[in-house]
Amino acid sequence: MVSEEVPLPVERLKPEDFLRLIEKSRLGKLKIYLGHAAGVGKTYAMLEEAHRLKKAGVDVVIGWVETHGRKDTEELLEGLEIIPRKKTPHGRTIVETLDVDAIFKRYPTVCIIDELPYSNVAGSQYPKRYLEVHDILLCGINIITAMNIQHMESLHDTVLRATGVDVRERVPDRFVLEADQIVNIDLTAEELRERLRAGKIYPADRASAALENFFTENNLNTLRELALRETAAALDRRPRLGDKSPTDVSEKIAVFFSTNPDTTSRILRAASRLAGRLNREWMAVYVRRKSEDPNYIPADLQRKFMQNVQLATELGGSVTVLESQDVCHALLDYCRKNDVNLVVIGTSERKWWQLTRPDVLEFFLHHAPGIDIYIVDPNN
């Protein structure tokens, strides 16, 4: 359970505020309705806004919406133009996908695209829904979308520990935090559970199981707290008109990682979360010794290492690979040259055959005055 103080709910921006953003740039603007569980009302809120935009004379269409059989949501689709889904053969079945080409051809001012974390079937042009949204934005079409907080990449380990749920579909933090507007759709745990009991989220046969598993009061309170905090933090990181740059804007965070694929992902997520809270640039740094040359590392380990490199990039960090036999001094020299004043280091019990390797944490504790250390236990 998250124990830090929860910020007050953020005041919801008005639809006309989004219209003003649209007018400022030829690139598409992105608005995300953020919630903490199915049934809080994200899709409903998007469709309500679509009707307001249409009434204001804005050319708005539906690219993808999932009503999940909810009558109130289905009724809101009436009167809105819907881009037909693309039907693609996949084995012995036909799958429906977002028709990106049709949206390009139609070229509306605003397109509503639900379920941002969605994964397309293997072999699709776009493996993930957020990649489809990205390309549509690049063409100048404005997007309103929705997702739940547990799908943010950096929160994966936090959500897993707090709820026991291993969320497989995730969206890079950078994509979410670069949205032009983030609106939190809030609902208390008891209100949401009551909606579930009333059959407004799932059919009766699914509702009972959901109440006992994912939709427990503890899980919902934890996720709600995360959603409120992330929304407030995202808005707090935005530059405001007339604000001066902070004096420590040049100071950076570095996270040191190894080829160990099991611990690195957790350390990277922790670094991303910390950098987000402090509004700092961060980088992942790896020192490669001769024995760790790609030609000598097993192919499976090298593949997992590259996956972690990709993860660091998706989380908003940059990646630097140094070549040196002296790992500790190479890392310290890098920090001195790149204005790094905070380092993130993972700690875990070393095996007997690792005892001859340099202990980076111990080295920095004794030889890096002026550099703060944030220690992560990747096993917790």
Same domain, 167 and 267: no
Has residue 344 got a pLDDT over 80? yes
187 and 119 Cβ atoms separated by less than 8 Å: no
Averaged pLDDT for residues 93-97: 91
At 8-21, the pLDDT tens digits run 344 445 556 666 55
Assigned domain for 2 exists: no
Assigned domain for 6 exists: no
Residue type, 324: S
Partners of residue 117 on adjacent β-strands: none
Q: Which contiguous run of DSSP H or E holds residue 32?
A: strand 30-35
155 and 267 Cβ atoms separated by less than 8 Å: no
More confident: 359 or 357: 359
Partners of residue 64 on adjacent β-strands: 113
Same domain, 259 and 197: no
Tokens of 308: 């972690």
Assigned domain for 245 exists: no
Range of the domain at 292: 252-376
Same domain, 284 and 232: no
Q: Which contiguous run of DSSP H or E holds residue 315?
A: none
Averaged pLDDT for residues 230-237: 71
Look at residue 356 in the predicted model and tell me its pLDDT.
Answer: 39
Tokens of 355: 């005892």
At 273-296, the pLDDT tens digits run 888 778 788 999 998 888 777 777
Look at residue 10 in the predicted model and tell me its pLDDT.
Answer: 40
Same domain, 231 and 106: yes
Assigned domain for 167 exists: yes
At 109-154, the pLDDT tens digits run 999 999 999 999 888 889 999 999 999 999 999 999 999 999 998 8
Question: What are the phi and psi torsion angles at 110 (to 5°)?
Answer: -135, 135
For 350, half-sphere exposure in the C-beta direction (CA atoms, 13 angstrom radius) is 12
Same domain, 124 and 224: yes
Q: Which residue, chain included where needed, has tokens 């943010």?
A: 152
Has residue 248 got a pLDDT over 50? no
Same domain, 189 and 258: no
Domain total of the chain: 2
Distance between first and last Cα of the chain: 14
- The CATH number of the domain holding residue 263 is 3.40.50.620
Assigned domain for 4 exists: no
Measured CA to CA in angstroms, residue 169 lies from 112, 125, 151, 210 at distances of 20, 17, 6, 19
Same domain, 288 and 335: yes
Q: Which of 181, 202, 237 is the last residue of a domain?
A: 237
Tokens of 81: 């133009």
**220: nearest Cα among 278, 271, 171, 162:** 162
37 and 57 Cβ atoms separated by less than 8 Å: no
Assigned domain for 1 exists: no
Measured CA to CA in angstroms, residue 137 lies from 28, 32, 109, 110, 330 at distances of 4, 13, 11, 10, 41
Assigned domain for 366 exists: yes
DSSP for 94-124, written as a single string:
EEEE--HHHHHHH--SEEEE--TT-BPPTT-
Same domain, 190 and 220: yes
Same domain, 213 and 274: no
Three-state DSSP class for residue 254: strand
**182: nearest Cα among 152, 160, 219, 140:** 152
Cβ-count burial 210-229 (b if 16+ within 10 Å, e if not): beeebbbeebbbbbbbbbbb
Same domain, 232 and 339: no
- The CATH number of the domain holding residue 207 is 3.40.50.300
